[in-house]
């Protein structure tokens, strides 16, 4: 919220009792060990997973949907039938997470680790950098396409709970199998208004400026750990420079 304050200042409401915290943490640890850490620390491009991945994605996106539903109801900006669909989805996810049901019905969980982006035609001039260093989550409703989604970006690993696919949606090689499977780097294809909306969010965020004082603090911090800087943010910027050099925006 305040780019000149170096802290995670997003919403942090208390949602879970101790029992549910323990339930969720089992899948969180497995996701961190088997997907998140290999992806960020060694650039792994293939992963195997068990039922814990669908559970993990559901747990992250249930929290987002729960809070967004509260906001949608208070602002009364969505129609009653839309609110009903989102409420039903929240309830189904909650029952799945509490082991009261074995699946999430006709909803689907998807995952899309963002490896190097080698082609782009959007307004976002530095897609590798902004996708790989950011974290956000939200619920997206597209009435024109009849699509309902909950999504999160975990520093380059995009996870989705598709409540209802839009009429024009295409999701290829991103589906998380409920019983487990593997994530590889085959050609993936995702066509959905949700992706356009996410890129617009990143584009809008990229225009936020920080003060010179804060920039100087960041530079000094990076000087104390230059290897980490090279491997992470600076490396992503170099990928985007190469992308920009060969792409007409």
Give me the average pLDDT of each 10-residue run along the chain (249 residues): 64 85 95 93 88 98 96 92 97 97 97 72 66 88 94 94 95 95 84 88 77 78 66 62 56
Evaluate whether residue 202 is within a structural domain: yes
Residue 134, domain member (yes or no): yes
At residue 42, the pLDDT reads: 81
Residue 13 lies in a domain: no
CB 115 within 8 A of CB 185: yes
Predicted pLDDT at 83: 96
User: Is the CA virtual torsion 115, 120, 122, 125 positive or negative?
Assistant: positive
Adjacent-strand bridge partners of 140: 149
- Domain that includes residue 92, residue range: 18-246
Q: Is 106 part of any domain? A: yes
H helical segments located in the chain: 18-31, 37-41, 52-75, 80-97, 127-133, 193-206, 212-223, 226-231, 233-246
Beta partners for 61?
none
Dihedrals phi, psi of 96, to nearest 5 degrees: -65, -45
Q: What share of the chain is helix, strand, coil (3-state, %, to 5)?
A: 50, 15, 35
Are 168 and 191 contacting, i.e. CB atoms less than 8 angstroms apart?
yes
Model pLDDT, residue 248:
47
Give the per-residue pLDDT at 188: 84
Structure token digits, residue 211 = 């003060």
Is 8 contained in some domain?
no
Does residue 1 sit within a domain?
Answer: no
Q: Would you say residue 163 lies in a domain?
A: yes
Tokens standing for residue 184: 């590889």
> Can you tell me the distance from the alpha carbon of 83 to that of 104, in angstroms, rounded to the nearest whole number?
18
* Residue 77, domain member (yes or no): yes
Q: How many CA atoms lie within 13 A of 103 on its CB side?
A: 10
Number of domains in the chain: 1
3-state secondary structure of 240: helix
């Amino acid at each position: 919220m305040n780019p000149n304050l170096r802290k995670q200042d997003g919403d942090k409401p208390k949602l879970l009792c101790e029992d549910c915290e323990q339930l969720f943490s089992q899948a969180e640890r497995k996701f961190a060990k088997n997907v998140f850490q290999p992806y960020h620390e060694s650039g792994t491009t293939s992963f195997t997973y068990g039922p814990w991945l669908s559970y993990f994605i559901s747990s992250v996106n249930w929290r987002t949907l729960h809070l967004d539903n509260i906001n949608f109801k208070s602002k009364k900006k969505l129609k009653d039938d839309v609110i009903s669909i989102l409420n039903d989805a929240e309830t189904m996810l909650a029952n799945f997470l509490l082991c009261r049901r074995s699946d999430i019905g006709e909803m689907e969980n998807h995952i899309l680790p963002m490896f190097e982006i080698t082609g782009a035609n959007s307004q976002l001039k530095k897609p590798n950098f902004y996708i790989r260093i950011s974290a956000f989550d939200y619920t997206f409703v597209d009435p024109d396409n009849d699509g309902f989604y909950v999504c999160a970006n975990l520093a380059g690993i995009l996870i989705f709970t598709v409540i209802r696919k839009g009429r024009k949606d295409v999701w290829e090689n991103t589906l998380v199998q409920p019983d487990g499977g593997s994530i590889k780097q085959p050609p993936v294809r995702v066509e959905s208004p949700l992706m356009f909306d996410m890129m617009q969010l990143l584009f809008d965020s990229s225009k936020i400026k920080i003060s010179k004082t804060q920039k100087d603090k960041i530079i000094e911090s990076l000087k104390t750990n230059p290897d980490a800087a090279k491997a992470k943010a600076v490396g992503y910027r170099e990928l985007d420079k190469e992308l920009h050099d060969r792409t007409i925006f």
